[in-house]
Chains A and B, each alone.
Chain A
């Protein structure tokens, strides 16, 4: 048994070592928040995601695209088919070519991706002092700290220290690497009016939009974790059976 434990532990030790080495982060320590989607039983909060979508549409989408998400995906936020159709129709997208070969404008459909604010990166840079606002579809998976980082960043705008000169077009942020971020403080008290009566504090909006983007980065997370629990439970039982069979077989050793 001792051998067995050592052999099994070897893999685990290797993991711990690697994870620790790789996760060595930089910058100011992030305040860790308790997200409903963390942990192996985690799931997304529909209310928070819907509020987060509202923050994205009314604040972020002026500069940031969400190009990997289609309107149909919003079913996962708890919207009905009709609501999604209505929401998509609020956008205008380019269709065509028609029978005459002309492109035309049409209302959005559920199958359309969320339209981007700029036609290309050059246009985005030209409108934003040369800095391209990154796409938000994968943002939570693309930054160390994930949702914690985004929440900290959005609430991390502060007065710079006296000895620090903040350049034109730059803003001081406690959590951005290097502390100088091109994005101006995006969220202000009551920047949106929530339909469900939740008070739109900066804290609340930052948390909601981080929640929404956590879903956008990994829409299959809930399915993955639910399946994982079943798979791991099955494997634990199955492995125990194999162990019993192994003992039985080896008891007959010649």
Chain B
């Protein structure tokens, strides 16, 4: 990690006047020290950034051909699919890019939860990340409305209608959101405008996320702070090449989906143009919203003066919002689940719970799915509100290694739960 000294005269000329090259070198180059033991779960942050760029680029090109009008939106999308040069490719990349963005970000979040990346001093980094998740969800929901298929229309209707659950202010809010008395042309227009805006807001917040990350650097699989320079290696070339390899795997899977099964994750009924007079038999959101949809529909009873609908809506929003509090719900001093024998189990049970809720969300809200969804919802919240605080007090944690470099350099890996460290490229 030496001082940045460019040899190319042009770069030197620019660097003297605008030190952008040394800035980049500090940010993602050879002068950004990174823990030497990051495993492949640390790839998903950069993958999320690349997925975002793919979405923005294809999205801008689609916007050049798309018509945000209730009479023309559906046909303009088909025009893109049939008559625009490689329009089908742009649209399928954009459509499935959304799904891949969520897959990558969900794994990124799970990694943070497993290795305790949200703990002191990275709480704000985590909070900015959860904000990014909320922004993504808003962008995804708005974007799903634009093709103006049956589910586009009815998803917009169902989701915006949730605000009517709030007493007194609910109805006026919904009319205001719609720009009318039902989902219509003004709604489609503003959704398009906002769908174009939010990704750039996300880019801004991503910069804050990276800024906060660079304050203390990446966390790592053993979850202890670096003791000295021997624990860190320069980001470039070690992690640039590792991230590039991960990107290759990601793009291969992504291409297989886009070219061979582009409609696999979508609903067929969305290829029917929106019709306000015909309600689809099953209204289901995109797969990445299914767990939240299951939580929304799991509340079937009123509580005192609170309607079931209102409680469902609050729980649904709460299920994401609760992530904001995780750094304070989990008070355990140990970051990594490798040294938390109980938490490790509860983590995987919670992941399984989310999978179950996803499955429930895809099914109609009737027994047995309803009951399974209710149990799943209770467990979802208990994990955060009961289990995490209790584990912080009662869990017997394992002894931590004395340094990041120690298990790696000795090649023993005694302190690590999975995998030996004999080959650096595998250990990573």
A and B: interacting chains = yes
Question: Which residues of A does B touch, CB under 8 Å?
Answer: 1-4, 6-8, 10-12, 14-15, 17-19, 21-22, 24, 40, 68, 73, 134, 137-138, 141-144, 146, 177, 217-220, 223-225, 227-229, 231-232, 235-236, 238-239, 242-243, 245-247, 249-251, 253-254
- One of B92, B246, B271, B358 near A18 (C-beta < 8 A): B358
List, in ascending order, chain A residues with CB within 8 A of B104's CB: 11
Assess whether B183 is interfacial by the CB under 8 Å rule: no
Say yes or no: A251 contacts B358, CB within 8 Å: no
List, in ascending order, chain A residues with CB within 8 A of B242's CB: 246, 250
The binding surface of chain A is classed by DSSP as: helix
Say yes or no: A224 contacts B241, CB within 8 Å: no
Q: Which of B35-43, B298-306, B310-318, B377-385 contacts A (4 or more CB under 8 A)?
A: B35-43
List, in ascending order, chain B residues with CB within 8 A of A24's CB: 362-363
Q: Contacts A1-B426, A251-B425: A10 and B82 contacting too (C-beta < 8 A)?
A: no
Q: Contacts A232-B256, A235-B255: A249 and B358 contacting too (C-beta < 8 A)?
A: no
Instruction: Tell me, in angstroms, the Cα distance from A1 to B246 when the chains sit together.
Output: 13
Distance in Å: Cβ of B355 to nearest Cβ of chain A = 6
List, in ascending order, chain B residues with CB within 8 A of A231's CB: 255, 259
List, in ascending order, chain A residues with CB within 8 A of B250's CB: 11
Contact with A along B253-291 (1 / 0, CB 8 A): 101111110111101110110000000010010010010
Say yes or no: A7 contacts B272, CB within 8 Å: no
Assess whether B321 is interfacial by the CB under 8 Å rule: no
Q: B282: nearest residue on chain A (CB-CB)?
A: A26
- One of A11, A177, A249 near B253 (C-beta < 8 A): A11
List, in ascending order, chain B residues with CB within 8 A of A223's CB: 88
Say yes or no: A243 contacts B245, CB within 8 Å: yes
List, in ascending order, chain B residues with CB within 8 A of A19's CB: 264-265
Question: Which residues of B does A touch, CB under 8 Å?
Answer: 36, 39-41, 43, 75, 78, 81-82, 88-89, 92, 103-104, 106-107, 233, 237-238, 241-242, 244-253, 255-260, 262-265, 267-269, 271-272, 281, 284, 287, 290, 355, 358-359, 361-363, 418-419, 424-426, 428
Q: Contacts A21-B362, A141-B263: A7 and B237 contacting too (C-beta < 8 A)?
A: no
Instruction: Tell me, in angstroms, the Cα distance from A231 to B90 when the chains sit together.
Output: 15
Instruction: Tell me, in angstroms, the Cα distance from A88 to B424 when the chains sit together.
Output: 68
Q: Contacts A8-B249, A10-B107: A138 and B425 contacting too (C-beta < 8 A)?
A: no
Instruction: Tell me, in angstroms, the Cα distance from A107 to B125 when the chains sit together.
Output: 66
Instruction: Tell me, in angstroms, the Cα distance from A254 to B363 when the chains sit together.
Output: 53
List, in ascending order, chain A residues with CB within 8 A of B268's CB: 141-144, 146
Q: Contacts A17-B359, A21-B290: A3 and B260 contacting too (C-beta < 8 A)?
A: no
Say yes or no: A225 contacts B362, CB within 8 Å: no
Instruction: Tell me, in angstroms, the Cα distance from A205 to B382 when the chains sit together.
Output: 58
Say yes or no: B237 contacts A4, CB within 8 Å: no
List, in ascending order, chain B residues with CB within 8 A of A242's CB: 241, 244-245, 247-248
List, in ascending order, chain B residues with CB within 8 A of A238's CB: 248
Say yes or no: A142 contacts B82, CB within 8 Å: no
- One of B244, B252, B425 near A236 (C-beta < 8 A): B252
Can you offer 21 A-B residue contacts whose CB atoms are under 8 A?
A2-B419, A3-B419, A8-B253, A17-B358, A21-B290, A21-B358, A68-B82, A73-B82, A141-B263, A141-B271, A146-B268, A218-B88, A224-B88, A224-B262, A236-B252, A239-B248, A242-B245, A246-B241, A246-B242, A247-B425, A249-B238
